[in-house]
Amino acid sequence: MRKIHVSRKLLSKYKTIEQAVLDANDGDHIEIDAGVYREKIVIAKSVKLIGVSSDPEDVILSGSVTIIENASVSVKNLTFAKSDLGLVIEKGHVEVVHCQFNQIKKYAIDVKEQGHLSLTDATIRHNGIGLYITGRARAEYCAFYGQLGSQVYVGGKGRFIMKHAHIYQGQSTAFNFDQQSKSLIENCQIYGHHSENMQIKAQGQSEATFQDCFIYESQSGAAQSLDDARISFQTCKITDNYPIQLNSEGGQLVLRNSHLETGDIAIAVRNSGNAQIENSMLTSHTNHHVTVEAGSIYVYRSTIKFGEKSGITLANNAYAHIESSDIFGHHLPQVAASERARLSIKHSSVFYGKHYGLWLTENASAHIAHCRFYENEFNQIVIADQSEAEIDDVQVFEGSQSGLYIKDNSHAMVSNSVFYHHHDLYPQIYVSNESTLSMNESRLFDSYESGIRFEQQSSGLIEHCQLTGHYEAQIDVRRSTPTVRECLIENGGTCAVRLLHAGGFIENCSFVGHEHNIAIGGACETEIIGQEADALRQYAEALSQTQELEAELSNEEVQRAMKKAQEEADREARTAEIVGLVEQLEERLGKK
């Protein structure tokens, strides 16, 4: 190994770096004095280029260095500046330590398919693109800022690892992942990119993983995944990115053990995109926390809370699976599904909402199992506009309106569930406008209003259920035709069942502790089998007696009116007779 000294001094043997490289052998060290070197260098040898000053700005290479023929090159304490290209690695390996790359028009560092780069303690600023990688690269303890294009581009089949870096205030993306590239970014801070692109962009079939990173302060969003690309965030904090923090337009987003806060929308999924949220928290967004349209999302062991609109919204055939998660504190429906969207929610809690807990509309469907809905200020679960839901082992309680509201040709199947403590003015379950409810093995108790109300041509089957402690009718049927079979209805107030212009069936139910077991009004066609089987006959008899009494009362009133009229006529006749006699008397007196 030789040490070759490059200096601009008069008596120096090597006044240019290129001369030293041409004369060097593999393993030689080329030490470079302070100065500005305007040259283009091609290196096909395994050598080291070392600036003798500890300040890289003292040794400036205003040109380019190209590595070829599998050379292994080390570059230290240099600044690449003010040229068309900086460092180009066509074929070989380059280790760059404590260097700067400034004002390079195209690529500060270009790592081609057969190139390998190790970059440590470097500053890359105000270039076209900072790193352009289609080969292999690793960067640690670096700073990237102010590039005109992407700060880092990884494409082709490139592989890139970055650790402990700051990437900030670029005029385009911080990272652009493309084609079939794969990247790992750890312990980095990424902030201050405000172009039409988000801070992080993945497209093609690229894959990128961010771990222990802080991504913040952008007016164009944090990250977007396009095409078939995949971006994963693990133990990251993502905050203050507007209008959308994470966006999937056909690609895949994975969020694990991470925190999204303080933005407009936390996650948007569209156009067959997919998002997975695990062990993460989404909080304090001014719009919907999660919106999914024609895409899908999986939420597991996560918390979605304190949003000014909804927690999760699904539309246009979207699909969501929510499991072992908490959703609370939103000002619009906490979970909303419309336009044929499908939802599966298990082992989760939806609570403390300022609006509905769950809202299904426009042919949406849901499977809800082992969940709790409580203390939502509007109806806790709403199934509307030809939507349907399967509800199994669910607790719905302490609501400010109804626990379950089914309307507009919708359908719900409820089993093994519990409803209790809803507002005094609302039935716990409300079935309206040609909707249906199938309910079995469930309990409804302790609410002032009715347990279940059917109205407006609704129907259903209530089977093997227990209703206890409702002050109004425990089951209230109005112009509807449900079947209530083998239920225990006990300890209520006004009545167990109220039938108003109703049909359907009451079969083999037990009634205990009411003022009236069955109250009937209007034209009632309900069939009652078992206890209270004679209620309809008694009602018919009472109705007939009432009609007869009304008829009798009506005849008496006619007789009294006729008698009164006759008396008045007789009185008028007598008055006329007396007037005639008086006139005759007056005539006689006049003649006298």
d(CA 498, CA 177): 66
What type of residue is 488? L
Task: Write the DSSP assignment of 495-514 as a string of letters.
Answer: EEEEEES--SEEES-EEES-
Looking at the structure, tell me whether residues 147 and 269 fall in a common domain: yes
Rounded to whole angstroms, what are the CA distances from 225 to 3, 242, 272, 570?
Answer: 49, 16, 11, 102
Residues 319-346: tens digit of each pLDDT: 999 999 999 999 999 999 999 999 999 9
Residue finishing a domain among 264, 282, 300 = 282
Can you read off the two tokens belonging to residue 404?
Answer: 């379950």
Q: Are residues 370 and 393 in the same domain?
A: yes
93 domain residue, yes or no: no
Q: What is d(CA 94, CA 546) in angstroms, rounded to the nearest whole number?
A: 104
Are residues 528 and 562 located together in one domain of the fold? no
Buried b (16+ CB within 10 A) or exposed e, 427-459: bbbbbbeebbbbbbebbbbbbbbbbbbbbeebb
Cα separation, 126 vs 104, in Å, equals 7
- Same-domain pairing of 454 and 476: yes
pLDDT of residue 572: 63
Q: How many residues does the chain have?
A: 592
Q: Which residue has the higher pLDDT, 566 or 357?
A: 357
Q: Is residue 242 part of a domain?
A: yes
Q: Answer yes or no: do 360 and 453 share one domain.
A: no
Q: Average of pLDDT values for 152-164?
A: 98
pLDDT tens digits along 298-316: 999 999 999 999 999 999 9
Q: Are residues 317 and 380 in the same domain?
A: yes
Which residues make Cβ contacts (< 8 Å) with residue 334, sequence separation at least 6?
310, 311, 312, 327, 328, 350, 353, 355, 356, 357, 358, 376
Mean pLDDT of the chain: 93
pLDDT, tens digit, for every residue of 9-54? 888 899 999 999 999 999 999 999 999 999 999 999 999 999 999 9
Q: Is residue 352 within 8 Å of 327, Cβ to Cβ?
A: no
Q: What is this structure's pTM?
A: 0.88
Number of domains composing the chain: 4
Mean pLDDT of 541-553: 63
- My answer on whether 333 and 435 are in the same domain is no
Which token pair is 276? Answer: 């997975």
Same domain, 395 and 481: no
Could you give the CA distance from residue 129 to residue 109 in angstroms, rounded to a whole number?
8
The tens digit of pLDDT for each residue in 47-103 reads 999 999 999 999 999 999 999 999 999 999 999 999 999 999 999 999 999 999 999
- Buried residues in 331-358 as b, exposed as e (16+ CB within 10 A): ebbbbbbbebbbbbbbebbbbbbebbbb
Contact 129, 108 (CB under 8 A): yes
Same domain, 338 and 455: no
Q: How far apart are the first and last CA of the chain?
A: 177
Residue 122, CB-side half-sphere exposure with 13 Å CA sphere = 29
592 has a pLDDT exceeding 50: no
Supply the range of the domain harboring residue 579.
Answer: 537-583
The confidence score (pLDDT) of residue 538 equals 77
Whether 165 and 274 map to the same domain: the answer is yes
Residue 300 lies in a domain: yes
Count of CB atoms within 10 A of residue 413's CB? 17
pLDDT score at 555? 58
State yes or no: pLDDT of 447 exceeds 90.
yes
Percent above pLDDT 90 for the chain: 86
Residue that is last in its domain, among 400, 419, 454? 400
- CA separation for the pair 122, 188 (Å, rounded): 14
Reply yes or no on whether the pLDDT at 456 is more than 70.
Answer: yes
pLDDT tier at 1, thresholds 50, 70, 90: confident
Say yes or no: 437 and 463 in one domain.
yes
Reading the block at residue 106, the tokens are 């195209």
Q: What percent of the chain has pLDDT over 70?
A: 92
Mean pLDDT of 478-498: 95
Whether 467 and 351 map to the same domain: the answer is no
Q: Tokens for 470, please give them.
A: 């409702």
pLDDT of residue 546: 61
Residue 592 lies in a domain: no
Per-residue pLDDT at 407 exceeds 90? yes
Q: Tell me: pLDDT of 462 over 90.
A: yes
Residue 564 lies in a domain: yes
Where residue 223 sits, what CATH number does that domain have? Answer: 2.160.20.10
Mean pLDDT, to the nearest integer, of 245-266? Answer: 97
